[in-house]
Structures are given as C-alpha cells and as structure tokens.
Structure 1
Amino acid sequence: MVDIGWVRRMDAITGGAVVLTVDAVVFLMTALFGAPFLLFFLADGDDPGAPIWPIATVWVVSAILGSASAAAAYLIGDRGTRRIRQAGGVTALTTAAATAVLVATSVSASPVLAAVSALFAAANLGAVKLLLTPEPEPAPAALPEAFLLAAPLAEAEVRTRETIEIQVRRELPETGDAEEPVEAQEKPAAEYARPRRPRGPAALHTLGGVRLPPRARRHTRR
C-alpha cells in the first residue's frame, strides 16, 4: 500500500525544487546579461562619479544566488537528504529577503518591477515552507495482499462456526444439576414403583355361600 503522507511530502519537495530552479534561471540570466553593462560602465572612465555600485551589486548578488539555487535544485533532485533540503530552504529564504529589498527600493521608481519582485518573494517563501517542513512519521508495515484477501474468508468461517455452536447448544437437552420442580418432588413413591401383576378373579358371594374361582377350589378327600 502507498503511504499518502510520504507521497504528499515528495510533492512538496518537488515544488520547492521547481522554485529553486526558476530562481537559478532568473538570477543567472540577470548576471549573464548584466555583465556587459557592468563592463561597459567600468570601461567608460569619462564620468568617474557615475553610479556603478548598484549595477555591480545586482550582478554579484544575482551570480551568487543563481549559483546557490542551481546547486540546491540539482542536489535535491539527485540525493534529497535532509541537510540538502535545509540548505535549499536557506537559499530560498535568502532569495526572498533580497527580493524584498529590491521591492522596497524600486516601488517608487518602477511599480511593475516591484510587483513582479513581490510575487517572486512570495514564491520563495512558499518554497521555504515546503522544504523545511519536517518529514512525516513512518507508516506501519503494510499487510501482505494475501492476508488482506484471506481475512474476509476467515471472518466468515468464524461466524459460521459460532452459528453452528449456537444451534447445537439449542438442540442438546440440558444436563445440568437443575432442581426438580416442586410437583415432581411431592408425588408419592407409589407412582414410581414397579406395577404389580394383575390379580385373578375375586371370590363371588352368592346365596348359597361363597363361590371360589375355578383355580381356587379346594379338592375334598373321598
């Protein structure tokens, strides 16, 4: 199973690396195209009071930040260790600070440049948050797919066994030492005794006397 938290973390790192790549392209291109202007002003010695230091400062800062951003973006894509991500976050934070200074100095002279620089600074602040966010805790080991497929079958088997046991318990008579009802205890012992054999026909009382049954007649001596 895929850990969603780790996937989101990788997406965040990728977003931070993309911002650093854009920083590297912008600053290196600025340094590349700013170098001829700097050389031109340095070669022109007619006006020694010309403001050369702003151009030189922009060129140096652009070269440093562009190189640092390019190195951080490459290392994040190649290795992506925690220290490299922290270095990339520091680079993005430095870029945001430098861009904020540019916004503050150019807001009156060039509002368009100030607006673009503000967006650039906001993007770098977002990259700082993405790169410096702590890693998520490792997810527990995922269960094998075979176990996940067999779990419903095992649960159904357990339920079937429980149902069968309940039915068997209902059908079996109770063999516990339960007390007999009071009616059974009060019955006389004669009802539980062995039945007697049927008696023969009783003697008959007639007008001539007592008449015994055939088997009970007495044989008189002659």
Structure 2
Amino acid sequence: MREHVETNPQGTVIRDLPAEERPYEKCERHGPGALTNAELLAVLLRTGARGESSTDLAGRILRSTSPQGILGLLHLTMPELMEIRGVGRVKAIELLCACELSKRIWHTLAASQVREFTSPEQIAGFYMEEMRHLEQEELHVLMLNNKHALIRDVCLFRGTVNLSVASPREVFLEALRNRAVDIALIHNHPSGDPMPSGADKEFTHRIREAGEMIGIRLIDHLIIGDQNYFSFSEWGILQ
C-alpha cells in the first residue's frame, strides 16, 4: 500500500507520528468510528499548517467553534473559515462541502424514514437538523398527497423572509404544479426563538384562506428554532 506522507513548510511529517496516531492508518485498521472528531477532520484537510500536522490544525479549528465543537462547523461561512490560520480557499471549500454533504445525507435519511406526515413532530423532525443551524431565514413548502406522503419539498425564499409582503401566489403555483393535496409551511428563526411574529400569523391566515378557495389545505405552519419549534396547528391558530 502506498504510504500517505503529509508535510508542511516546517517539515512536519505525518509518518513521523506513532502508527496509532496516524488517522489514515487508524481508520484502515479500526474503521472511521474509531477516529476522534479532530482525526476525521484531519483526513478531510489532508495537510496541516506551518509547524503543525493536519490533526493539530483540525483540533485548532474545532476549538475555534467552542462551545459548539463540531456542530459549530455548520455555522461557519467561507470568510470565517479563511480567518483561521492554515485554512485557505481550498480547505474552506472542502469543509463547506463536507458540511453540506452531511446535511443532505441526514435530510435524505429523514425522508426515507417518514412514510406519512401526520403530526407536527414528524414535520419538525424532518427539518430540524437542516434548518436550526441556518444563519439566514428560509421558507419551505412541504407538499403532500392524499395519504400525507411526501411529494416534494421546495425552498421558496432564502435570506430575509419578509412574510408580511410575501405572496401566496408562489406557494400555490408550486403546490398546483406538483399536484399537492395538502401543504405545510416551514420557516426558521435564526435567533433560535420559534415564537411567531405578527407577520408570521398574518401570512399563515392568508395562505390558509387562499388554499380553501382552490381546494389545497394548509395543515400546519412550523417555525424552527434551536432544538424547538412552534406549530400553528398545535396552538389552534389554524382553526
């Protein structure tokens, strides 16, 4: 097997570490589950910074996200990553892509495990890990068939979601295009507080009334916070 050799300008070589401390060899012998968070990150980084190995650099990156640790990576932007010594453009892109891949894997897994969306808990669970880490607001429409099975999930707005001026037209164009029977609205509050604003309530009622006119029912509007959510149906606001 070709030996992986990692160097930096100061001459630090990963093969100089004891075999049990080399993440590549450790993964090969014991599997990726045996690696620490820093070692997993080191494998993605491949090379370290001046005077340190990739494992040292990985540990420093994780410490920079304290107290969140590895979850903090999901909140870092490309400029913020590049502010960390030893992280350039390429490493920042690699880390961003790794985080995006992990979110997509989780979202796909969550979708495969939910056959029917029949409760706010199921809808919140489907979106929680994807949306609770977002630094900006997103508005999603969950489209369901007559058995409450998923047809499609669409992100309609991203950035500053001003629901006070948002039009129901975009929502129902997507719903009609996908032949949805029922829909649910989902958006996040980056502050972590899921309590609805007046604009949130007004928009929800406009969507409900428009849906009644064309025969597409709004079953819920969920606001995702940090490990919590607000459901309009649970609070009886849709009735």
* TM bucket normalised to smaller: under 0.3
TM-score (norm: length of structure 2)? 0.19
- Identify which of structures 1 and 2 has the higher relative contact order when contacts are C-alpha pairs closer than 8 Å and 6+ apart: 1
Instruction: Flag the structure with higher helix content.
Output: 1
